[in-house]
């Protein structure tokens, strides 16, 4: 259930897009808890590690590498994209679009990670890279 973003991964059209959208309310909810650097880094780090494990287990159950039903990687990538980005409607839309484009294009080393790293780490860490790139691009635009 977690790997699929509470079922979003089973949508017949664009499950990764809906998984990315799930990252937005999670980010906004987290902002109500804290905007401090250390707790945020610890939370995102723990979530990334958990997502790697969860995605790896889901791959075993589903019997294939990075199936579309797994969208927890998009959630993590979107959270990374939004880190310390002021939460305006424009910023959220731009961040979402940037992340989706980079998640599809998989700029180096994201594509290599996806192809070469086995298990849940390969599923999640390519989205982490795309999220970092999208975050940097957002900061350049702010």
On whether residue 9 sits in a domain, the answer given is: no
**With contact defined as beta carbons under 8 Å apart, do 102 and 130 qualify?**
yes
pLDDT in tens, 35-59: 888 999 999 999 999 999 999 999 9
**With contact defined as beta carbons under 8 Å apart, do 18 and 5 qualify?**
yes
What pTM was computed for the model? 0.94
Give the domain extent around 20.
16-141
User: Closest Cα to residue 9, out of 72, 96, 76, 65?
Assistant: 72
The reported pLDDT for the residue numbered 114 is 83
pLDDT in tens, 73-104: 999 999 999 999 999 999 999 999 999 999 99
On whether residue 70 sits in a domain, the answer given is: yes
Report the C-alpha gap between 10 and 120 in whole angstroms.
18
On whether residue 24 sits in a domain, the answer given is: yes
On whether residue 108 sits in a domain, the answer given is: yes
On whether residue 78 sits in a domain, the answer given is: yes
Q: Report the number of distinct structural domains present in the chain.
A: 1
Cβ within 8 Å of residue 11, ≥6 positions away: 18
On whether residue 8 sits in a domain, the answer given is: no
Report the C-alpha gap between 59 and 94 in whole angstroms.
31
**Average model confidence (pLDDT) for the chain?**
93
């Amino acid at each position: 259930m977690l790997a699929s973003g509470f079922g979003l991964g089973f949508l017949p059209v664009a499950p990764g897009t809906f998984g990315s959208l799930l990252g937005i309310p999670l980010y906004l909810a987290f902002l109500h808890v804290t905007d401090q650097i250390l707790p945020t880094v610890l939370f995102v780090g723990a979530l990334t590690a958990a997502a790697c494990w969860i995605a790896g287990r889901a791959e075993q159950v589903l019997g294939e590498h990075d199936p579309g039903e797994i969208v927890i990687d998009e959630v993590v990538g979107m959270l990374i994209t939004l880190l310390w980005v002021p939460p305006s409607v424009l910023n959220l839309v731009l961040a979402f679009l940037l992340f989706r484009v980079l998640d599809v294009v998989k700029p180096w080393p994201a594509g290599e990670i996806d192809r070469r790293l086995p298990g849940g780490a390969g599923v999640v860490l390519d989205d982490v890279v795309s999220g970092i790139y999208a975050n940097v691009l957002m900061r350049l635009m702010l």
